[in-house]
Structure 1
Amino acid sequence: MENWWAVADEMALFLNLSQIHGIGPARIRTLLNRFAKPSKIVSASIDELTKIGGINESAAHAIQSAESADFGLDQLQKAVDQNCQILACFDNRYPEKLKRIPNPPLVLYTTGQISVFNSFAIAIVGTRLPTAYGKNITIKLTRELVESGVTIVSGLARGIDTIAHTETVKYGGQTMAVLGSGLDVLYPSENKKLASEICKNGLLVTEFAFGTKPDAINFPKRNRIISGLTAGTVVTEAGEKSGALITAYQALDQNREVFAVPGSIFSKNHAGPNQLIKEGAKLVTSVADIFDELPQQGDLFSPVNSGKMDAMRFSNNEKEIIDLLKDGEHHIDKLSRVLNKSTPALLSMLLKLELEGVVQQQPGKIFVLNKTF
């Protein structure tokens, strides 16, 4: 595959294709494997396009019309204006670790020091409303990891995320903040100064285009990138329905390590880590526990064949979800009850299926099978 991503017009078309409703990342990768570059995709005939699995005539017409859209060129210009970089998943600067997760983002928008992608990283995540205990253990673990030369990854949210980023900057370390919005819509707004400090030695990264607001639906998707950029995820303090647990379950799905800090059985803020420990996460009281558990992670940095990234493999749990949704739409609470799965674990599975184009999430956390599946 030629380096079409280094050509502005091709990247613009690629970005346009990524915005077509109903054509997910897996099908776009299939199209690229078949036609080699975006310009050949949009110039293909309806008959050629509909021979690709999951592409009906309506989708084929949408693909052909992508050539006239302004979105891609507009995004590239904003990147230039704001000193940012846009990386296609085929770009050799795209992090190898992230290529190895199920359904890696088609595109990454970044600003800061892109070389940080190549560093050894651990994620630290948790509640937005930490107790003094949660704050102190997060500060302790972050400082010890930074002193050991580890890059810290988190989500720039209030609470544990902010503490992890702030402490890393304070001790001169590298940190990556993964956003649930566009680079130009920093959230929360009080962290704009922190974001600027992060970029001096670290990186801001998102899969969401410029102008994307921090809608709630974006954050579970964001979480898979947090875990995907790392060798392991540490949950320091979180409730039983916290988004931090989604990140932990994503890490498990990605074959990465999960670590949890134990807490009081009487505190709701510690229910999440305590549950993870019951389920097999490594109990952590110091960074020694993290380093003792980590396997050799060299394969996370070695090249991966992009052509193999779109293979769709369903676990038994995912097959159960698909079978249930064949009967019609279901709310997340009903799915959780029928399948006897916790909400965070189920949302992690549903996110993977959504990214593969198998299911769609409708308003109110209602899920249905994609019509093209």
Structure 2
Amino acid sequence: MKGAGWHTIDRLHRTGWVPSNPMSSAMMEAARAMGVSQQRLDRIREKCTPAFVREVKVELQRREIRAVTLWDDDYPSLLREIPQPPWVLYVKGDVSLLDSPGIAVVGTRKPTPYGRQAARMLSEQLAGAGWVVVSGMATGIDSEAHRGALRQNGAIVAVLGTGVDVVYPRNNHSLYHELIRHGAVCSEMPPGTGPHPGLFPQRNRIISGLSYGTVVVEAAERSGSLIIVDCSMEQGREVFAVPGPITSTQSPGTHRLIQEGAKCVRRVEDIWEEFTHLMPAPLLESFGEADSSLMVEEEVFALIGIDPVSLETVMNRCPIPAEAVHSVLLSLQLKRCIRQLPGMQFVRM
């Protein structure tokens, strides 16, 4: 309803009004005392009728969209705790994922190859351990985070700055439908809402609000993804940052976060150890495998010297699956043990 923004609904809610019930004269008087104009009250009272509610429900059902409001039992419990929880979330996909333990993975829209690898690796490992990977489906790190989780058939939640039925950016059309099939897409914006610059910072509080912590993979000094960090800190959630090359234009934001107290992430265990009280069962088992993972890293590291070694050579000499070699090489880069040269060559640092 036009004119019924977050603060207007908050004032009405404080009068005791529930959207499914008529607004009494006493409620209207109390709302006016809080600064809600009579014109706005009249518009809401005239519009919010049982017939209107039925009409909206039928239309949402036709579009296969679920509306979860703050009055519903299945509203995400973690999201209730933030300063301005959305009054309604429109959802396509598995609604239950919004109330499962989540970690946000975000970053720049213009990532380096290193950033893409890091986002995919961390998201894949988080999803494989039972966490829900939360992000914003933006071009760049967000999309890579979703794809990393999908590689593990893991749980994913995308929070949009548009209506839940509007694909933005358009080149993420296939990713959008994969997210609905394997996870959930949600938004507080009414269906049909198109992209607008002011809506994306607003949705960032939901990304962090659904998550126990936020991981920033790459961010320039003034990156928009740092707004999510501000939301995380305001909400009392954990903040993590992945270090990058000091020469990269996409590293200053993450390096500043580390200087200011964000936890430096060199491997996924750096995230897990902050949430041992929440870890899903598969994750607890994975801690028992940490020693064997380090042995594999040492084996790969031994193959790389001061002279460049090709990816093909490493794969031929190391008896582990190809996808595991990629993960180990990225882990060694994050730990600053090796660096990648052009042509998929690697040398020790």
Q: Which amino acid aligns with 1:32?
A: H
Give the drift of 1:24: 3.7
Say how many residue pairs are matched.
279
Return the alpha-carbon distance in structure 1 between the equivalents of residues 26 and 192 of structure 2. 33
Map of 2:47 onto structure 1? 66
Report Cα offsets for 1:299-320 as digits up to 9, x if no partner. xxxxxxxxxxxxxxxxxxxxxx
Map of 1:113 onto structure 2? 94
Map of 1:276 onto structure 2? 257
Map of 1:199 onto structure 2? 180
Gaps (5+ residues) in structure 2?
280-349
40 and 172 in structure 1: CA distance in 2 versus 1, 3 angstrom threshold: closer
20 and 42 in structure 1: CA distance in 2 versus 1, 3 angstrom threshold: farther
Give the drift of 1:192: 1.9
Map of 1:346 onto structure 2? none
Q: Which amino acid aligns with 2:144?
A: I
Map of 1:56 onto structure 2? 37
Give the drift of 1:167: 1.6
SS in 1 for 2:15: helix
Map of 1:182 onto structure 2? 163
By relative contact order (CA 8 Å, sep 6+), the higher-ranking structure is: 1
Residues 23-42 of structure 1: pairs in structure 2 closer than 5 A: 23-38=4-19, 40-42=21-23
Does structure 1 residue 224 correspond to structure 2 residue 198? no
Return the alpha-carbon distance in structure 2 between the equivalents of residues 235 and 71 of structure 1. 42
The percent of aligned pairs where both chains have the same amino acid is 39
Q: Which amino acid aligns with 1:257?
A: E
Q: Which amino acid aligns with 1:92?
A: D
Return the alpha-carbon distance in structure 2 between the equivalents of residues 145 and 36 of structure 1. 41
TM-score by length of 2: 0.74
8 Å contact from structure 1 (residues 178, 222) kept in 2: yes
35 and 41 in structure 1: CA distance in 2 versus 1, 3 angstrom threshold: farther
Give the drift of 1:75: 4.0
49 and 39 in structure 1: CA distance in 2 versus 1, 3 angstrom threshold: farther
Residues 199-278 of structure 1: pairs in structure 2 closer than 5 A: 199-278=180-259
Return the alpha-carbon distance in structure 2 between the equivalents of residues 89 and 47 of structure 1. 21
Give the drift of 1:71: 7.3
Give the drift of 1:172: 0.7
40 and 147 in structure 1: CA distance in 2 versus 1, 3 angstrom threshold: closer
Residues 275-314 of structure 1: pairs in structure 2 closer than 5 A: 275-294=256-275, 296=277
The structure that has the greater radius of gyration is 2
Map of 1:359 onto structure 2? none
Return the alpha-carbon distance in structure 2 between the equivalents of residues 41 and 33 of structure 1. 15
Return the alpha-carbon distance in structure 2 between the equivalents of residues 247 and 50 of structure 1. 32
SS in 1 for 2:133: strand
Map of 2:79 onto structure 1? 98
Among candidates 77, 89, 103, match of residue 58 of structure 2: 77
Give the drift of 1:20: 4.1
202 and 39 in structure 1: CA distance in 2 versus 1, 3 angstrom threshold: closer
8 Å contact from structure 1 (residues 282, 293) kept in 2: no
Return the alpha-carbon distance in structure 2 between the equivalents of residues 242 and 102 of structure 1. 23
Return the alpha-carbon distance in structure 2 between the equivalents of residues 187 and 71 of structure 1. 29
Return the alpha-carbon distance in structure 1 between the equivalents of residues 101 and 175 of structure 2. 22
